[in-house]
A and B are shown apart, each in its own frame.
Chain A
């Protein structure tokens, strides 16, 4: 007996990137963006019986942080779940709920407020007390080693300055990019300051439903890699490659046919290598692609503002806005098919790839 699986559509998408807005506590910051997504969804809270969240206690600064934050995201007397994982993974879980017939409409929200916590010290805690934390290892160090390993394997660096400039320009043209100060960590070789993410306060919210109207989720993939950095193929990002392949296969779309590709990566190099893993750049040419391919990260990527674990959902919001024709000054004209990716702790260990199709 064939089972009818509901299709999933995006009703609305909202994103706010800010810095140290002391007028709003964390819950109020979350409320504002979730409320905006509800308003733009055009149907209020009608039919919303599910709330799927991505947030990390260490980022929020309180254990079981969803006690105070879930209500701000519409959880009151609803079926709410919080993933301590990247926002795109929460999005995938919400899609699954609708496909399972468990939800009609669902809020998906993810956030991280870099101005309230010390990003580097949380990052150091991620690598485990036995073999990682005692060495002071941070996710940005892994990004640096990933870049170095790629350079050693013959990755082309000629277009590096051009890629940096393009990223900066894209962030300037992105209406949603950080306008405040933000903050930044110290780079370690071979990374330079311009390669690094701008830490920011990020809240992303999306409403999905089984009712047609907005962009459709046509493909989804999720995959994972070993925890120990020494066990991984750092430059190849095989987990992301698998997730992207799965999503593209399900959507019946080739990477070359994507109009917008919003890639989550901590640094310029992570984004470049991710582009290769996804298949929008040939091996070794990731920086060239970031420098010249207007389809890739029109948002400006991590230069527009970054805080885990919000970013996979922020990428989904950006991709959605392009498909809706509402991206604003950085709009990619005629965008019909998009991919968004999200990579979670630790140092891009697990990945989610989503393919969307507009009308």
Chain B
């Protein structure tokens, strides 16, 4: 049987879902809108401040307790420079990075602005030096993770190591 005799059947894989964000994520997003601040939650066992805020610590299998504000500045841990377009986002090239906000024990992902990307390799060298960034909110936050992004701080200050790695997650 030749290739042209073989039957192919077109199809769509299309399912509708309603994802419940839950109380914790809802409150995290409300804090962005109402108070323009980023919140984490603390695990009573390992004492880590987990960002984004969440209801439980999976390392310890314990419910989190206190809500803690983190930032507004932080350290860029690692990054990539995206060169292909993505719907709803600024035109490439754009920088996406993990940032550990001051006071947090986990890093948060978001876009980073303020780097000159005309020479990608030169930009990469600069971004790969643990630069400091600050949270920047959009004018009209809507309760989505895109309500804020990170802006490189003009002073390339050394990494803030003031917060030691706390605790060992209980196993």
Binding site for B on A (CB under 8 A): 20-26, 28, 31, 34-35, 38, 45, 58, 61, 71-72, 74-77, 115-118, 121-122, 125, 129-130, 133
Contact = CB atoms under 8 A, between A and B. Distances in A.
A121 B15 contact: yes
A25 B61 contact: no
Interface residues of B, number: 23
B20 A72 contact: no
Nearest to A68: B58
B24 A28 contact: yes
Nearest to B18: A116
Interface in B15-71: 15-25, 55-56, 58-59, 61, 63
B23 A23 contact: yes
A276 B150 CA distance: 64
Given A61-B15, A129-B11, A130-B9, A24 B23 contact: yes
Contacts of A72: 56, 58
Given A23-B22, A129-B11, A61 B17 contact: yes
B17 A22 contact: no
Given A58-B15, A118-B15, A130-B9, A31 B55 contact: yes
Nearest 3 pairs between A and B by C-beta? A71-B58, A25-B22, A61-B17
Contact of B56 (A21, A31, A118, A129): A31
25 contacts: A20-B20, A24-B22, A25-B20, A25-B22, A25-B24, A26-B20, A28-B24, A31-B61, A34-B61, A35-B61, A45-B61, A45-B171, A58-B15, A61-B15, A71-B58, A72-B56, A74-B61, A76-B171, A115-B20, A116-B18, A117-B15, A118-B16, A118-B17, A125-B15, A129-B9
A185 B142 CA distance: 36
A77 B171 contact: yes
B92 interface: no
A15 B140 CA distance: 43
B93 interface: no
Nearest to A71: B58
Interface string B156-171: 0000000000000111
Max count, chain A CB within 10 A of own CB: residue among B13, B61, B170: B61
Given A24-B23, A76-B61, A118-B17, 7 more contacts: A21-B20, A28-B22, A31-B56, A38-B61, A76-B59, A118-B16, A130-B9
Nearest to B56: A31
Contacts of B9: 129-130
A260 B12 CA distance: 45
Contact of B20 (A24, A35, A58, A125): A24
